[in-house]
Amino acid sequence: MVEIESVRSRFIKHFDGKTGNIYAAPGRINLIGEHTDYNGGFVFPGAVDKGVVAEMRINGTEDTVMAYAIDLKDRVDFHLNDPAGPRTSWARYIYGMALEMRKLGVPVKGFNIAFSGDVPLGAGMSSSAAMESCFACGLNDLFGENKVSLWYMVLAGQATEHNYCGVNCGIMDQFASVFGKAGCLMRLDCRSREFEYFPFKPDGYRLVLLDSVVKHQLAGSPYNDRRNSCENVVKHIAKHHPEGKFETLRDCTWEQLEEVKAEVGEEDYRRAKFVLGEKDRVLAVCEALNEGDYERVGELMYQTHEGLSKDYEVSCEELDFLNDIAKENGVTGSRIMGGGFGGCTINLVRNDLYRQFIVDAKKRFNEKYGHEPKVYDVVIGDGARKLC
């Protein structure tokens, strides 16, 4: 995590010399369950030890926000009552969160904020959810007497993505960033919102991310297209079964998908097929984890990669290459993590194979693409909180 002192020194320097309160929220990993959240399925994320740290202070104005992005050395001031809001993309997260918290009854007025983050951008580790949860935590504390519950903070973060940033995301990232707990993954049922903490200490194995440093753009976008495909399949299935209740692919069976295959078209069919398979895989991973069977967990991760690459089509050449290298090095499990279109693979690797795998991946990736992938050892950390 970013050092508190480095945020504080900039906050003092760029505003009126006074200090505020400091809040932090993490990015996330996801063991398995990709593109299932907006389909009412299961996900298996955990918070990481990298995130966003923000210092915030009420500034006494009606609606003026003075914001400083420390890492970008960029200052943007804007008014909360301006219906257009700021144009700068990072500032829209602050604007969006403030307006969404107002909708929840928090009387947000003017404030100063400086923030910094160490979640690698575009890596699929959800730096945006880290911002949203961090700002939610701060606004709830400064203006709302902490009355907004954690779940409503999650939903405000998701609404910010939908309403101000153009990404029709599910709830996994904001959930993980708010509810994260050190040492634990969480299995979330995205339909009922019930979840369970799973202490994750895979004896003899470790989780490592390989970042291709290829960036994805989710807004406006291939991500939203995938979601539309899934919703289209649900609509068709619902038409065939007027007696049933079909809200998401979670409510649909393999047989029902086959029934509409011809009418929805090949592309939507393949996408829905991936989602139904992924729903089953998350449950299978839970069973395997309960039995301590990490080899089985790994097999399922490879299956997810295959589906994300061939059926859901959110992979890219670089990620498929990293996946192949993992296989060739005997890595237990490997797959694209997050929304796709670049970013990281998540790898479950035996301790004794770890070193050789990293050396080989760096070398071969560099030979092919002219730069090494970045390596992040996964440390599962805590969710959004006030630091001081």
Give catalytic residues, as residue numbers: 173
Smallest gap from residue 274 Cβ to ligand GLA (A): 11
Helices (H), strands (E): how many in the chain? 12, 13
Closer CB to ligand GLA, residue 302 or residue 369?
302
Residue 119 sits at φ, ψ, to 5 deg, of -80, 125
Q: Tokens 């915030």 identify what position?
A: 56
Smallest gap from residue 335 Cβ to ligand GLA (A): 11
Task: Report the distance separating Cα 3 and Cα 281, nearest Å.
Answer: 38
Smallest gap from residue 126 Cβ to ligand GLA (A): 6
Which residue from 100, 132, 105 is spatially nearest to 119, judged by alpha carbons?
132
Closer CB to ligand GLA, residue 194 or residue 243?
194
Smallest gap from residue 161 Cβ to ligand GLA (A): 7
Closer CB to ligand GLA, residue 66 or residue 308?
308
Closer CB to ligand GLA, residue 85 or residue 338?
338
42, 172 contact by CB (below 8 A): no
Residue 72 sits at φ, ψ, to 5 deg, of -95, -5
Closer CB to ligand GLA, residue 127 or residue 329?
127
* Tokens, residue 28: 């996330």
Smallest gap from residue 175 Cβ to ligand GLA (A): 9
Smallest gap from residue 328 Cβ to ligand GLA (A): 26
- What does the binding site for ligand GLA look like in residue numbers (CB under 6 A)? 34-35, 37-38, 126, 169-170, 172-173, 338-339
Smallest gap from residue 340 Cβ to ligand GLA (A): 7
Helix (H, G, I), strand (E, B) or coil at 46: strand
Which residue from 45, 33, 224 is spatially nearest to 133, judged by alpha carbons?
45
Q: Is 379 exposed, middle or buried (0-12, 13-18, 19+ CB in 10 A)?
A: middle
Which residue from 302, 128, 120, 299 is spatially nearest to 212, judged by alpha carbons?
120
Task: Report the distance separating Cα 110 and Cα 26, nearest Å.
Answer: 25
36, 304 contact by CB (below 8 A): no
Residue 185 sits at φ, ψ, to 5 deg, of -90, 170
Task: Report the distance separating Cα 345 and Cα 31, nearest Å.
Answer: 10
Closer CB to ligand GLA, residue 55 or residue 211?
211
Residue-wise over 2-32: b if at least 16 C-beta within 10 A, else e? beeeebbebbeebbeeeebbbbbbbbbbbbb
Task: Report the distance separating Cα 160 and Cα 95, nearest Å.
Answer: 9
Smallest gap from residue 128 Cβ to ligand GLA (A): 8
Task: Report the distance separating Cα 90 and Cα 177, nearest Å.
Answer: 18
